[in-house]
Structure 1
Amino acid sequence: MELEDTQAAGEFLSSNGEPQSGSTESEESLIQLVQTRFPNKGFCIVQQWTIVRAIASDGDLTKIHVHGHLPLFVFAEKVILDSRGRFDYGNWVRSTMAISFQDGFLFETKNTVYVLMGDGDEKSARLAAILSLYQ
């Protein structure tokens, strides 16, 4: 099962998704916005991003929602700015599961708000395939 999940993860990462648009605001405007709306929370401005919607059983979706999460993840190929210095400019990053997704570009996890800048896409994949990328 694990090999199948890893292969499925590779397939969804290399496939084309549904085009989406993030924010077109300047970096400075986005910094002000995220600091106002999410005070005291770290943020990461990213480009070339993909929202991955998990396909899961009803039971797994119930568990996800009970824990206050949404079945969404972000993978970004380019970090522009990380407010806490965890990720260097130009590096890639992947999120944990979302707790909110606002205005089409503010992707919040428990610890970080990922600010989706510019164009990206959205894909769906089995939850097990997504989680195989975290092992």
Structure 2
Amino acid sequence: MTNEMKREIDRLASVLYKPGILTDFGCSESQIDLMKQKCDQFSPGKPICVVKDWAIWDIKLPQSLPDFAISLIKADYIIYDELGRFPVGGWVRTTAILSIHENCIFTTNSTSYILVGRGTRKSVEYQDMMRFF
């Protein structure tokens, strides 16, 4: 393995495993049922997914793309998925976050995500995000 390959592997491993900055987002496990009810108020009919061990990735777009911000969630543990798309204990990477409610409900185009516990936030290069997903 070349030194260049090792550096690339180390860089990509840091995207997945190096923690970001702790955030104030997230709710306690005891609030999950309440937050599910609030999801139905904010986004009626939108399926709910509850996750923990999560990070918000603020995607750094290439200069060739229009100047706008994209953030998403990568969660390493699924507590509950209303539609059964993801297994309990599995992981998920969301599409772009559209809105935030109650400091723990993050909505995307298709789903309301409830973030449980504390998480982190970090910047991730667009091309690195695309390599993983």
Task: Give the structure-1-normalised TM-score.
Answer: 0.81
Write out the 4+ residue segments of structure 1 that deviate beyond 6 Å after TM superposition. Answer: 3-6
Distance in 2 (alpha carbons) for counterparts of 1:73 and 1:6: 22
Partner of 2:16: 13
Moved more, 101-110 or 5-14: 5-14
- The structural deviation recorded for 1:33 is 0.9
| Structure 2, unaligned runs of 5 or more | none
SS in 1 for 2:55: strand
Partner of 2:61: 56
Q: Percent identity?
A: 25
Computed over aligned residues only, the root mean square deviation of the Cα atoms, in angstroms, reads 2.2
- The structural deviation recorded for 1:10 is 2.4
1:23 aligns with 2:23: no
Which has the greater radius of gyration? 2
Moved more, 25-34 or 40-49: 25-34
Distance in 2 (alpha carbons) for counterparts of 1:6 and 1:36: 44
Partner of 2:98: 99
Query: Which structure has the higher relative contact order (CA within 8 Å, separation 6+)?
Result: 1
| Structure 1, unaligned runs of 5 or more | none
- Quick check: 2:35–2:105 contact (8 Å CA) kept in 1? no
Task: Give the structure-2-normalised TM-score.
Answer: 0.82
Distance 1:60 1:19, change over 3 A: same
